[in-house]
């Protein structure tokens, strides 16, 4: 771990697609195990992999700093024009799958773990999570282990800004039932797909709350499935709908608004609407982090503007038990082909974290 960029390259070169993270788990655990005084554990996440939990505890009287980074990446999409697992530097960009999201951040967290361990003025925890690109099962597994800290720092790609909160997310499933008839006589049936389409169109008319910092909520139709193989009016259609929401909105109220929108449609379809049942972890809630205590020490050390995220991540889960700040480098194309992270931004972020160490 002599050079931050070399460490980013090494992490990028280790494939760690969601559900297949054993190699990177072992590498990270091995490196953190070299830090003097560290205690490294693997926290199993059933059917997914293991989180890497490393700790250096000096005294119960000292504050604790937690560093988080997710070890998993998304899958390789078709639009890659480079080998996604061969880190390639072109200008200021380091290309590779997960380079921005978030192996550069994992490298920063690993380096910070080592630096803070040497400081002996704080206790330090490294929480390398898995399934962040899925349902954050790793984050919840770590929380079930009872991890806590006075501040949680996450170098997700925030473009070099201090992300002090973000929206929450809930997912609804909608079952639309119609009535079958011969396709040549559609008026004799109720087309469930057509009814579902009317419902999707009605989403735009549902009022969305706006928060002064988190902005407005949003809808996104994620899935729509229905139809028949024969010349028949489709009598069923299923929808999965994402709803990002802000502080002040309640999940049950959002459900009622969807049901109201369905009841006001001019059609004959039958709608059953509820929360997505297949999610194995709680839905992630919106949060704001107050700029006080160790958080203020960190933000003043780093400098720069405060921002607030639109989507969700492990930070939503950790924010419920400890003040959480996201501060990471700039990058492009995460979750897309030819992802890269800005090398100068990685170094700038690392310098900011080191100023925090010096200030402590």
What confidence score (pLDDT) does residue 267 get? 86
What confidence score (pLDDT) does residue 1 get? 37
Please give the Cα distance from 308 to 115 (Å, whole number).
28
Q: Assess whether the region 4-166+286-359 and the region 172-275 belong to the same CATH fold.
A: no
- Reported as type and span, the H/E element at residue 44 is strand 39-45
Given a contact cutoff of 8 angstroms between Cβ atoms, the answer to whether 327 and 302 are in contact is yes
Mean pLDDT in residue range 303-310: 95
pLDDT tens for 53-93 read: 999 999 999 999 999 999 999 999 999 999 999 999 999 99
Q: Which two tokens stand for residue 70?
A: 């997710």
Q: Which of 345, 344, 305, 329 minimizes the C-alpha distance to 101?
A: 329
Beta carbons within 8 Å of 3's beta carbon, 6+ residues apart: none
User: At 143, is the pLDDT very low, low, confident or very high (cuts 50, 70, 90)?
Assistant: very high
Please give the Cα distance from 276 to 89 (Å, whole number).
42
Given a contact cutoff of 8 angstroms between Cβ atoms, the answer to whether 66 and 153 are in contact is yes
Class of domain 4-166+286-359: alpha beta
Residues across the chain: 360
Q: What percent of the chain has pLDDT over 90?
A: 98
Mean pLDDT in residue range 163-175: 98
Q: Please state which of the four CATH numbers 3.30.70.360, 3.40.640.10, 3.60.10.10, 3.30.420.40 is assigned to the domain occupying 172-275.
A: 3.30.70.360
Where do the domains of the chain lie? 4-166+286-359, 172-275
């Amino acid at each position: 771990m002599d050079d931050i960029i070399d460490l980013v390259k090494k992490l990028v070169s280790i494939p760690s697609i969601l559900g297949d993270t054993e190699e990177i788990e072992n590498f990270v655990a091995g490196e953190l195990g070299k830090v003097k005084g560290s205690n490294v554990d693997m926290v199993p996440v059933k059917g997914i992999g293991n989180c890497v939990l490393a700790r250096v505890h000096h005294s119960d009287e000292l504050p604790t700093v937690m560093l988080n980074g997710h070890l998993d990446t998304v899958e390789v999409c078709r639009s890659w024009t480079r080998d996604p697992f061969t880190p390639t530097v072109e200008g200021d960009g380091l290309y590779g799958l997960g380079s921005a999201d978030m192996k550069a951040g994992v490298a920063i967290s690993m380096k910070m773990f080592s630096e803070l361990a040497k400081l002996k003025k704080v206790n330090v925890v490294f929480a390398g999570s898995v399934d962040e690109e899925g349902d954050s099962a790793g984050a919840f597994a770590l929380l079930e282990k009872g991890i806590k800290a006075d501040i949680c720092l996450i170098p997700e790609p925030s473009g070099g800004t201090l992300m002090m909160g973000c929206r929450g997310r809930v997912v609804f499933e909608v079952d639309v039932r119609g009535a079958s008839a011969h396709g040549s006589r559609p008026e004799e049936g109720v087309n469930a797909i057509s009814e579902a389409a009317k419902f999707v169109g009605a989403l735009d008319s549902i009022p969305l709350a706006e928060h002064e910092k988190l902005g407005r909520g949003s809808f996104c139709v994620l899935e729509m499935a229905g139809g028949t193989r024969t010349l028949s009016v489709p009598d069923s259609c299923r929808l999965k709908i994402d709803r990002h929401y802000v502080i002040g909105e309640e999940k049950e109220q959002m459900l009622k608004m969807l049901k109201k929108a369905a009841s006001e449609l001019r059609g004959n379809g039958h709608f059953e609407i509820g929360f997505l049942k297949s999610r194995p972890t709680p839905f992630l809630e919106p949060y704001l982090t107050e700029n006080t205590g160790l958080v203020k020490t960190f933000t003043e050390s780093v400098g720069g503007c405060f921002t607030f995220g639109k989507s969700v991540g492990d930070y939503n889960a950790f924010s419920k038990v400890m003040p959480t700040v996201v501060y990471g480098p700039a990058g492009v194309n995460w979750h897309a082909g030819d992802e890269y992270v800005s090398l100068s931004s990685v170094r700038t972020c690392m310098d900011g974290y080191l100023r925090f160490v010096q200030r402590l």
